Structure 1
Amino acid sequence: MPDIIITEFMDEEAIRQGLAGFDVLYDPKLADRRGELIETVADARALIVRNRTQVRERLLSAAPKLTVVGRLGVGLDNIDVEACKARNVAVFPATGANDVSVAEYVITTAMLLLRNAYGATAAVAQGFWPRSDLIGREISGKRLGLVGFGAIAKETAKRAAALGMTIAAYDPYVPPTSPAWDQPWGRAEPLPLDALIETSDVISLHVPLTVETRNLMDAAMLARMRPNAILINAARGGIVDENALAEALRAGRLGGAALDVFEEEPLSSSRGAVFEGCPRLVLTPHIAGVTQESNTRVSWLTVENVRRHLERA
């Protein structure tokens, strides 16, 4: 039986070179076959996952030799960290390896939704000339409101500042007097959450899914947003009330939204039907942090963490 089981996609060169000498099972679809996964982990010492593999009590009980979990990303809501700790199973997220990819996704999506010019290809090719319908807005001079001010939010802010945006952020874990608000690109203004929501042109979420953040952006909070403001969630599904967002978009109360993460993943067609008829909406399949470059960085960092742990064990 394999020493290391990899249940979701990663850079294959990192597997070949970085895990040479170990017995590795690489099956990027194994996360979808949970029963088979449970049967496979009996002798595994290491497990490498992304966000779909649920590392919880049932799986941990089936893997008595497991000593380490490598997470191809940073979110840990699919991993029962306390249960791992109780079993002396180390958990290594790939901290920092996909920060740039997520930051670029947020800025790109914000510009796309503000400018409103890029959905006319078919119409223009058919001889229409809808210029007056496509007059959008510049990103320069707008306020970016960041909910959470961690590493990814700071990377996003750096790019936004370079484009002429002003930056504000809410983070209850960063005191107003912290030097973190002063960055090489300028200063982020610390604000209470309500003030941030009410005054920002683009709101980007950068918080984990917790009891406190679940449905943080509910109908009441969405109603506080400016009528033409943009909401972007590339953090975790469940932070935005999807029904309330769809209703706000259809009612024309928002300038647009982008969701890269969903309460149900993969998003089923029945659940996705809630977004039918929503204007100015971008939906992507949890891909904000995954580029060719970040996949390489994340994979190598995870391989190095797992290999180092196994060699020390």
Structure 2
Amino acid sequence: MPRVLISDKLSPTAVQIFKDRGVEVDYLPDLGKDKDKLLEIIGNYDGLAIRSATKVTEKILAAATRLRVIGRAGIGVDNVDVPAATARGVIVMNTPFGNSITTAEHAVAMMFALARQIPEANASTHEGKWEKNRFMGVELTSKTLGIIGCGNIGSIVAERGVGLRMHVIAFDPFLSPERAIDLGVEKVELDELFRRADFITLHTPLTDKTRNIIDISALLKMKKGVRIINCARGGLIVEADLKAALDSGHVAGAALDVFEIEPATAHPLFGHPNVVATPHLGASTTEAQENVALQVAEQMSDYLMKGAVQNALNMPSISAEEAPRLTPFVKLAEQLGSFAGQLTETAIKGLRIEYEGDVAEMNTRALTSAALTGLLRPLLQTVNMVSAPAMAKERGIAVEEVRREAVGNHEALIRLTVITERQERGVAGTVFADGKPRIVEIKGIGLEAEFAPSMIYVTNEDKPGFIGRFAGIIGDAGINIATFNLGRLAAGADAICLVAVDGAVPDAALEAVKALPMVRQAKALAF
């Protein structure tokens, strides 16, 4: 019988679900805070169910010799070393949709609290002061609400904002114009949102691109009197810059449910008269706790008892029977999606996936999910094969699947075409007999290249001297070239260069490549 440890506080519903499904469960809700004790006993368990208090480090994973699955009741997995878990064959699951409404409602509540100074007025009234003239608020009606990140939670906030008769504008690279119309919001660029919004609320994951998205330069672009709400992730706002803007009066107020360092028992913003602070309560409702507890227990039980995989961050949803044949094509589809996603810088309207030959007879639903996962991951790092289709739908990305018999030289081929507001970009690949995915076509230009952890993609004019000058720049930067793959439409016409290198590419070297007269585009890629 599989054995699961629950090391954080979860609803009793979770315990009962495990028992009903035939899983032995130990409920030790305070164990996650005791690293030494957790390290001592983790080797006795097949599954670990957690919230945010338990830190699943590489050291813990090394001691977890039986562990097969980690289930996070909630969406964030910042407290789990996912790469280390993957390396040890441990599946990491989350519950991405169980607390969306609760978090959105908390953001709206924080907006009301800011607008009417409710916390300060409440404290003053309890002290018997009756300072009616001190607390002059502002109406939400007719104000402009700027939403940064219009995915699952952001779209719920948008709907609530429209219901409050606010003018809602949104910045989200993946939000299509059609989806914006459906939500009743105006899609804008980030600088325009900063310039126009009376209230700004954040609903984006913390990634390299979104970290410190609100800093002093962003704050200076905002209108005087703006109010800022963050119920998403600490680290999206430079807290010292926000304090300076509050102290100067440029920002009228801020409502924060998350902080860069948590638990935040002391903070420069605590006690500020224009700051509303709550201790990461976004998901803290009875309904949300029941939802995520039920979901994580069901998912973990299904995996431990049946081998089914749902909402896994590091494993595709594939049945045991089809895994040997399908797995290399899942990897191909995800890497093709990642290739396209890393090169796409404007809003995605649609994705067309063509399956040719043998692959057209496989489980293309899993393959399409894998392609969407790769496509969305550059900006949405928590996306997985289960959540990717829903996230694409939320953003109005139309997905088209085409199946056909083999029409070229390959027995099985997957071709992805990303449709944006400006252009269409296609990339195709296959799996050779050695089981390794390969790119065989980019933008209609044929070439053959294996995926590598670090690559450089260049589009250029096919002119003499390019290869030598490119290789000289990379060599001068101390970067070793592993493979060099070229393709062109015709002599002297458009050409493509896809190079695998050993190690990260320095920014200066990439800029030098871009500066070559025959180069049109150069970008570093990671797989």
| TM-score, scaled relative to structure 1 | 0.90
Q: After superposition, give the CA deviation of every residue in 1:155-206 in whole Å (9 maximum; x if it has no partner).
A: 11111111111211111233x44x32233xx422111111112211111111
CA deviation after TM superposition for structure 1 residue 136, in Å: 0.9
Q: After superposition, give the CA deviation of every residue in 1:246-278 in whole Å (9 maximum; x if it has no partner).
A: 222222221211111111111133xx2x12452
Match of 1:311 among 284, 305, 308: 305
Q: After superposition, give the CA deviation of every residue in 1:59-85 in whole Å (9 maximum; x if it has no partner).
A: 221112211111111112222333333
Match of 1:301, SS state, is helix
Comparing 16-25 with 287-296, greater Cα deviation is found at: 16-25
Long gaps (5+) in structure 2 = 308-527
Q: After superposition, give the CA deviation of every residue in 1:5-63 in whole Å (9 maximum; x if it has no partner).
A: 11211101331244343322222222211121122211211111112322232222111
Match of 1:204, SS state, is strand
Q: Distance in 2 between matches of 1:166 and 1:13?
A: 41
Residues 1:125 and 1:64: Cα distance change in structure 2 (over 3 Å) = closer
**1:286 maps to 2:280:** yes
Counterpart of 2:252, as a letter, is G
Q: Distance in 2 between matches of 1:94 and 1:38?
A: 25
Number of the residue aligned with 2:104: 103
Match of 1:167, SS state, is strand
Q: Distance in 2 between matches of 1:59 and 1:126?
A: 49
Comparing 93-102 with 215-224, greater Cα deviation is found at: 215-224
CA deviation after TM superposition for structure 1 residue 101, in Å: 0.6
Q: Distance in 2 between matches of 1:232 and 1:9?
A: 27
Q: Distance in 2 between matches of 1:162 and 1:7?
A: 40
Q: Distance in 2 between matches of 1:121 and 1:231?
A: 21
> Map of 1:180-199 to 2, 5 A cutoff?
180-183=179-182, 186-199=183-196
Number of the residue aligned with 1:208: 205
- In our comparison, the structure showing a higher alpha carbon Rg is 2
Of Structure 1 and Structure 2, the greater strand share is in: 2
Task: State whether residues 85 and 91 of structure 2, in contact with CA within 8 Å, keep that contact through their aligned partners in structure 1.
Answer: yes
Counterpart of 1:250, as a letter, is D
Number of the residue aligned with 2:327: none
Task: State whether residues 18 and 300 of structure 1, in contact with CA within 8 Å, keep that contact through their aligned partners in structure 2.
Answer: no
Match of 1:131, SS state, is coil
Number of the residue aligned with 1:28: 29
Task: State whether residues 250 and 277 of structure 1, in contact with CA within 8 Å, keep that contact through their aligned partners in structure 2.
Answer: no
CA deviation after TM superposition for structure 1 residue 108, in Å: 0.9
Match of 2:49, SS state, is strand
Q: Distance in 1 between matches of 2:209 and 2:237?
A: 12
Number of the residue aligned with 1:236: 233
Match of 1:134, SS state, is coil
Q: After superposition, give the CA deviation of every residue in 1:70-119 in whole Å (9 maximum; x if it has no partner).
A: 11111122223333333332222112110111111111110111122553
Residues 1:123 and 1:45: Cα distance change in structure 2 (over 3 Å) = closer
Task: State whether residues 10 and 299 of structure 1, in contact with CA within 8 Å, keep that contact through their aligned partners in structure 2.
Answer: yes
Aligned-residue identity in percent:
35
Match of 1:119, SS state, is helix
> Map of 1:121-200 to 2, 5 A cutoff?
121=122, 123-124=124-125, 128-174=129-175, 176-177=176-177, 179-183=178-182, 186-200=183-197
Q: Distance in 2 between matches of 1:79 and 1:206?
A: 21
Q: After superposition, give the CA deviation of every residue in 1:269-303 in whole Å (9 maximum; x if it has no partner).
A: 3xx2x124522211111111110111011110111
Residues 1:25 and 1:207: Cα distance change in structure 2 (over 3 Å) = same
Long gaps (5+) in structure 1 = none
Q: Distance in 1 between matches of 2:180 and 2:121?
A: 40
Counterpart of 1:54, as a letter, is K
Counterpart of 2:43, as a letter, is A
CA deviation after TM superposition for structure 1 residue 225, in Å: 2.1
Q: Distance in 1 between matches of 2:239 and 2:127?
A: 34
Over the aligned positions, Cα root-mean-square deviation in angstroms equals 2.1
Q: Distance in 1 between matches of 2:169 and 2:32?
A: 38
Comparing 238-247 with 300-309, greater Cα deviation is found at: 238-247
CA deviation after TM superposition for structure 1 residue 128, in Å: 4.2
Greater length-normalized contact order (CA 8 Å, ≥ 6 residues apart): 1
**1:83 maps to 2:80:** no
| TM-score, scaled relative to structure 2 | 0.55
Task: State whether residues 249 and 279 of structure 1, in contact with CA within 8 Å, keep that contact through their aligned partners in structure 2.
Answer: no
Task: State whether residues 120 and 273 of structure 2, in contact with CA within 8 Å, keep that contact through their aligned partners in structure 1.
Answer: no
Q: After superposition, give the CA deviation of every residue in 1:231-258 in whole Å (9 maximum; x if it has no partner).
A: 1111111111112212222222212111
Counterpart of 2:37, as a letter, is E
Comparing 291-300 with 141-150, greater Cα deviation is found at: 141-150
Task: State whether residues 19 and 303 of structure 1, in contact with CA within 8 Å, keep that contact through their aligned partners in structure 2.
Answer: no
Match of 1:297 among 273, 280, 291: 291
Residues 1:124 and 1:55: Cα distance change in structure 2 (over 3 Å) = closer
Q: Distance in 1 between matches of 2:186 and 2:270?
A: 37
Task: State whether residues 94 and 298 of structure 1, in contact with CA within 8 Å, keep that contact through their aligned partners in structure 2.
Answer: yes
Q: Distance in 2 between matches of 1:41 and 1:147?
A: 39
Number of the residue aligned with 1:15: 15
CA deviation after TM superposition for structure 1 residue 126, in Å: 6.1
Number of the residue aligned with 2:417: none
Match of 1:217 among 202, 214, 219: 214
Task: State whether residues 77 and 209 of structure 1, in contact with CA within 8 Å, keep that contact through their aligned partners in structure 2.
Answer: no
Residues 1:19 and 1:261: Cα distance change in structure 2 (over 3 Å) = farther
Match of 1:133, SS state, is coil
Q: Distance in 2 between matches of 1:286 and 1:280?
A: 18
Counterpart of 1:231, as a letter, is I
